[in-house]
Structure formats: structure tokens, C-alpha cells
């Protein structure tokens, strides 16, 4: 441990390493001393500091950090294309060559077409082939997120030979925690944990260390179909195989984390009625084209809701007080529908779900909606009744008749909305329409319609025609 670490150690979560780095880079004039100080910091922290530096500070780093070190820093940068333009083409190409292939692909996608072509032409043959391999897969396929950084050995090796092969390959590949094994034909056979190989005696057959049931994915499989399954294994990396079951890359745990983040962001956008993730670089017209179809549909449904509300004009005229509680009914109804939708979409991710299990899901959500609605209805009956009685100064009959109407409307609306929030995504899933895209805005509007009809319908029947109150 360096003297700096001994004297100035503080918990990492409280340390402002980025601020420290900016000060060190700006103040230190000796290149050797700067490199020594930078070696105490993680590449991610250097990358964050990098983005806060002016061009003079960044050029100091270009001069101090070697190519391999610079490539590790660049892998953490967000707007890396801007910084590549500050470098000579040969230097930029050297940095890209030293990156993992998947990171190199991400970097090249951020630069202009002309710059990309020039950089690719300067790459060595191995780097070019790795990049072309990853780019050959669609962005929703497993092959698009793999890296070619992995260790591979033959099953027929001895322990000593396997260790020798590991050491030789580790010079160019740093994903060494799991060693992948192939058979005589180059077909994926299994995997060995690095620890098991290190502690194994030389006389132990390599076969005893190999996990032949190790999980894998095919490069042309979709990310969505495999994401949940891969998370369950919690491995440092998962091999990616071609159609002949030869290993061509690996998916690291970091890749999975990023994929999950992307999936969450995509699901959030879809629940808002967006079919694809919007980019900050998109034009206003492009964003409008994505949003308008659903907005037009929802406008039509909104007009239906307004028309239905207008049908209860007599209720609104004679019972003006009930308008105050409309937002409560609409809000709770929408919440119930959204909760059921979220649960249903999560369950529907299991492609092996049977028809009986889908019916059980609908039945469960119906009961949940009923119980929640009954509870909220009782609370509303009591609280709203007391509010009207003491704050508005109405008679007990009036107060608790109105609150009773609100309570019953809540119960019915939440029950039906919970049912709708389950049935609609199940239906869309059945007809092979993405339930996340199609269900969110639709359920919200349908819940409003249910709430309006229930609330004002009960008010018209019970309050005006049965009890006969007004005002």
C-alpha cells in the first residue's frame, strides 16, 4: 500500500476521488510522478475526471497514459467520439485495438461514418475480425453484446498443460476466472473454475474439474428471451456459441447488468406507449412519429370518457359535491389497473406459462382488486362521510349517502380495473403483441372509463333515484 493510501485512507463511498484526480492532473507537471499517482486510482474514476478536464488536461493524460491504460479509461467514457477526434488517427486506432471487442464496437458507433471507416482501416486483422463478428448480429441478439476476451483449452490436456495454456492466453485475455473447454472437434464441452485449476494436483485428470452442464447461449438468440435465465446463474461469464456449438465469445456479468438496465429503461418507455427507446439525438419529427399513433388512439378513448361523463349531466347538476371526489375514484382505479399490469407483465415473461396458470393469475388479481377495493371503500366511506358531515355541514343522511356512493364506486372500479389490468396484457400476449407496449396507456384510459361509469352511475341510481337527495 502506498504512503498516500496509508495516510489518507477514508471509506471509498465518502471519498471524492474524481475531485482529487482533477487537482492532481492540473497541478502535477512531472509526467513520471503523475503516472505514479494515477496508478492508485481506478480507471472509472479517471474517466469521470477525464470528462471534467479541459483539452490541455486531457492532452496531458494522452501523453502520460500508455495505450493499454488509455483503452481501459476510454471504455468507461460516455462521449468517447469527441475525445477520439483529439487524437491522431493512428493513436486512436491503437486504443481501439486494445479494447475488448464489444467496447470497441460501442466506441466506433459513436463516431462519424468517415472517421469510423478510417479507424477501422488502421486496425490490425484480429481486431477487425472481432469487431465484424459482433457487428454481424442484430442489436437484440446475444452475439451483439458478447466479448471475444476469454480463455479456451482442450479437454485432452493435463493439469500442467492447461495451466501453461492459461498463462499464454492470459497475456491477451483478462477474463480468466472461468476457463472454457472444447472437445477434439472444437465443440463446447464445459467450463473450469480458475480456483479449481490452480489448487488441483498434477496427477488429477482435467476431466474431473470440468463442469459439463455449464450454461451457454447461442449467438443468434434474443437478449430478451435469455436475460432472466442468465441472471439466475450468477456466473462471471456465460459462453456464446455459434450454430455449430463452437464458442465465439462470452457474456460477462457487467454485460448482463447493462442489459438489465437497458431492459428496465425500455419497459418504462413502453409503459408510456413508446415502442422504442428514444434518443436525445432524435429530431422532433422522429419522436412525434413514435408517439402519435398511441396518442391518437388514446385521444379517441378520452373522447369516449368525456362523452360518457356528459351523459351524467343531471347528476353533476343536482349533486355538485360529488365532483370533488372524482379524482379519488379515477386515481385509485388507475393505480389498481397499473399494479395488476406490472404483476402480469412480469409473470408473462415466463414463456412456459400454461393456460391454467394464466387463468389462476386472472383469478388472483380479481380477488386482490376486490379486497383492496373493499378496504379502500370502507376507509373512504368513513373519512369522506365525516368530512362532509363536519366540514361541509351536511346532514348525516346526505354525508354518508355520498361517502357510501364513493366507497362502493371505489370497490367496483378497483375490482374491475384490477381485472382489466390482467386480462388485457394476457390477451395481447396470446395474440403475439408485446403487452408492455400495448397495455399501459390503454389500461389507464379504460380504468378512467370504468371509474366514471361506476361512480356517476351509482350516484344517479342510488343518490338521485333511490335515496332522493340533491345539492
Amino acid 170: pLDDT: 87
Amino acid 160: pLDDT: 93
Contacts of 239 (CB under 8 A, 6+ apart): 150, 180, 188, 191, 214, 216, 217, 247, 249, 250
State the chain's mean pLDDT as an integer: 84
102-128 pLDDT, tens digit per residue, is 889 988 888 888 888 899 999 999 999
Amino acid 267: pLDDT: 55
Residues 164, 215, single domain; the answer is yes
Residues 161, 263, single domain; the answer is yes
Position 10 pLDDT exceeds 60: no
276 is a domain residue: no
275-323 pLDDT, tens digit per residue, is 444 454 567 776 677 667 766 776 787 788 778 777 888 887 888 888 8
Position 6 pLDDT exceeds 70: no
Higher pLDDT, 52 or 355: 52
Supply the CATH number for residue 129's domain: 1.25.60.10
| Domain final residue pick, 145, 168, 202 | 145
Q: Mean pLDDT over residues 152-173, rounded?
A: 92
Rounded CA-CA distance 404/105 in Å is: 63
Rounded CA-CA distance 398/385 in Å is: 9
Q: Mean pLDDT over residues 66-91, rounded?
A: 87
Range in 12-16, 82-86, 104-108, 460-464 the model is least confident about = 12-16
Amino acid 230: pLDDT: 80
Domain that holds residue 78: 3-145
Position 359 pLDDT exceeds 70: yes
Supply the CATH number for residue 307's domain: 1.10.357.20
Residues 459, 312, single domain; the answer is yes
Position 90 pLDDT exceeds 60: yes
| Domain final residue pick, 125, 145, 165 | 145
Residues 369, 250, single domain; the answer is no
Range in 285-294, 420-429, 449-458 the model is least confident about = 285-294
Residues 108, 160, single domain; the answer is no
Q: How many domains does the chain have?
A: 3
| Domain final residue pick, 129, 145, 161 | 145
206-242 pLDDT, tens digit per residue, is 999 999 999 999 999 988 788 777 877 878 899 999 9
Amino acid 3: pLDDT: 42
285 is a domain residue: no
Residues 48, 170, single domain; the answer is no
Amino acid 8: pLDDT: 56
Residues 335, 461, single domain; the answer is yes
Residues 66, 189, single domain; the answer is no
Beta strand pairing call for 178-182 and 151-154:
parallel
With a pLDDT cut of 90, the percent of the chain lying above it is 39
What sign for the dihedral angle of Cα 311, 315, 316, 322?
negative
277 is a domain residue: no
Residue given cell 477501422 in the structure block: 120
Amino acid at each position: 500500500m502506498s504512503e498516500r493510501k496509508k495516510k489518507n485512507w477514508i471509506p471509498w463511498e465518502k471519498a471524492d476521488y474524481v475531485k482529487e484526480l482533477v487537482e492532481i492532473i492540473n497541478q502535477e507537471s512531472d509526467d513520471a510522478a503523475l503516472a505514479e499517482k494515477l496508478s492508485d486510482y481506478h480507471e472509472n474514476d479517471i474517466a469521470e475526471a477525464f470528462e471534467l478536464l479541459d483539452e490541455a488536461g486531457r492532452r496531458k493524460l494522452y501523453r502520460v497514459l500508455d495505450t493499454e491504460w488509455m483503452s481501459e479509461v476510454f471504455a468507461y467514457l460516455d462521449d468517447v467520439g469527441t475525445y477520439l477526434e483529439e487524437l491522431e488517427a493512428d493513436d486512436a486506432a491503437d486504443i481501439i485495438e486494445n479494447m475488448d471487442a464489444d467496447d470497441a464496437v460501442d466506441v466506433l458507433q459513436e463516431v462519424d461514418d468517415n472517421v469510423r471507416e478510417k479507424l477501422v482501416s488502421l486496425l490490425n486483422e484480429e481486431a477487425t475480425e472481432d469487431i465484424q463478428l459482433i457487428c454481424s448480429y442484430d442489436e437484440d441478439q446475444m452475439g451483439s453484446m458478447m466479448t471475444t476476451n476469454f480463455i479456451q483449452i482442450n479437454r485432452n490436456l493435463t493439469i500442467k498443460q492447461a495451466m501453461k495454456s492459461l498463462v499464454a492466453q492470459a497475456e491477451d485475455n483478462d477474463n480468466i476466472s472461468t476457463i472454457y473447454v472444447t472437445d477434439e472437434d472444437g465443440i463446447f464441452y464445459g467450463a473450469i473454475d480458475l480456483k479449481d485449476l490452480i489448487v488441483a494436483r498434477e496427477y488429477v485428470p482435467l476431466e474431473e474439474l470440468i463442469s459439463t452442464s455449464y450454461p451457454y447461449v447461442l449467438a443468434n438468440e434474443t437478449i430478451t428471451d435469455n436475460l432472466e435465465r442468465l441472471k439466475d446463474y450468477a456466473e462471471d461469464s456465460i459462453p456464446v456459441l455459434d450454430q455449430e456449438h463452437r464458442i465465439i465469445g462470452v457474456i460477462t456479468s457487467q454485460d448482463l447488468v447493462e442489459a438489465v438496465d437497458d431492459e428496465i429503461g425500455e419497459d418504462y418507455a413502453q409503459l408510456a406507449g413508446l415502442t422504442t427507446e428514444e434518443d436525445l439525438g432524435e429530431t422532433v419529427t422522429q419522436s412525434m412519429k413514435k408517439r402519435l399513433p398511441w396518442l391518437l388512439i388514446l385521444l379517441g378513448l378520452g373522447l369516449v370518457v368525456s362523452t360518457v361523463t356528459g351523459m351524467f349531466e343531471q347528476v353533476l347538476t343536482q349533486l355538485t359535491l360529488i365532483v370533488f371526489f372524482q379524482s379519488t375514484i379515477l386515481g385509485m382505479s388507475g393505480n389498481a389497473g397499473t399494479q395488476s399490469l406490472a404483476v402480469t407483465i412480469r409473470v408473462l415473461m415466463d414463456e412456459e406459462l400454461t393456460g391454467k396458470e394464466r387463468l389462476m393469475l386472472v383469478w388472483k388479481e380479481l380477488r386482490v382488486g376486490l379486497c383492496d377495493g373493499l378496504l379502500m371503500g370502507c376507509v373512504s366511506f368513513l373519512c369522506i362521510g365525516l368530512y362532509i358531515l363536519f366540514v361541509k355541514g351536511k346532514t348525516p343522511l346526505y354525508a354518508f349517502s355520498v361517502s357510501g356512493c364513493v366507497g362502493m364506486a371505489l370497490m367496483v372500479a378497483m375490482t374491475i380495473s384490477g381485472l382489466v389490468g390482467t386480462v388485457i396484457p394476457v390477451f395481447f400476449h396470446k395474440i403475439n403483441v408485446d403487452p408492455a407496449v400495448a397495455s399501459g396507456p390503454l389500461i389507464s384510459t379504460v380504468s378512467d372509463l370504468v371509474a366514471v361509469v361506476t361512480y356517476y352511475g351509482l350516484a344517479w341510481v342510488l343518490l338521485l333515484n333511490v335515496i332522493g337527495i340533491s345539492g
